[in-house]
Amino acid sequence: MTGPLQRVLRAFLEDLLAPRYGYDLMKAAGVKSGTLYPLLGRLEEDGLVSSGWAVPQTAGQRPRRYYRLTGEGAAVARVELARLSAGGRAPARPGRPAPESLG
């Protein structure tokens, strides 16, 4: 698991229920847009992250896309980050790409 992926997952885990916009995640995780969006795309393809559109309450503002960890995503993130903290290496899960391929 790469550093940017770790930081993005940690940012998600800070508040699981809060919708996170791309720019918020960039700030929280300290990654650039060129790194973040491919990462989010793959996490979403793997069912670990879900996304939706937030309609702004103020007139004239554009709808923004937000992201949240799914239940499975939160569980996987916690396990993988805990493994890393313990100094272990995450194994590949059946039917899923290895964590290395996620980012």
Partner 1 sequence: MKGERGLLRTGEFLVTRAARRLPARVRDERYREWAAELPAILRDPSLGPPWRRAARMLGYALDTIRAAALRPGQDRYRGAHRGRDPRAAVKMARWLLFLPAALAGLLAFLSLPLLLIYLVSLGAGLGLWPAAGVAFMIVMIGLLTGRFLPRWAFAVSTVLLGSWLIYLFAASSAGWPAGPPVLARISGWGFGVLATLFLRDLTVSAIKRRRLHTHKN
The residue ranges that bind partner 1 (CB under 8 A) are: 2, 4, 21-23, 26-27, 32-39, 41-42, 45, 61-65, 103
Which residues 6+ apart lie within 8 Å of 68 measured at CB?
12, 16, 17, 18, 19, 20, 49, 50, 51, 52
Between 23 and 79, whose beta carbon lies closer to partner 1? Answer: 23
Distance in angstroms (rounded) separating the CA atoms of residues 85 and 73: 18
Q: How far is the CB of 25 from partner 1 (least distance, A)?
A: 11
Q: Which is nearer to partner 1, 35 or 76 (CB)?
A: 35
Min. distance of Cβ 38 from partner 1 in angstroms?
A: 3
**Residue 62 or 86 with smaller CB distance to partner 1:** 62
Q: How far is the CB of 35 from partner 1 (least distance, A)?
A: 6
Closest CA to 9 of 98, 72, 58: 72
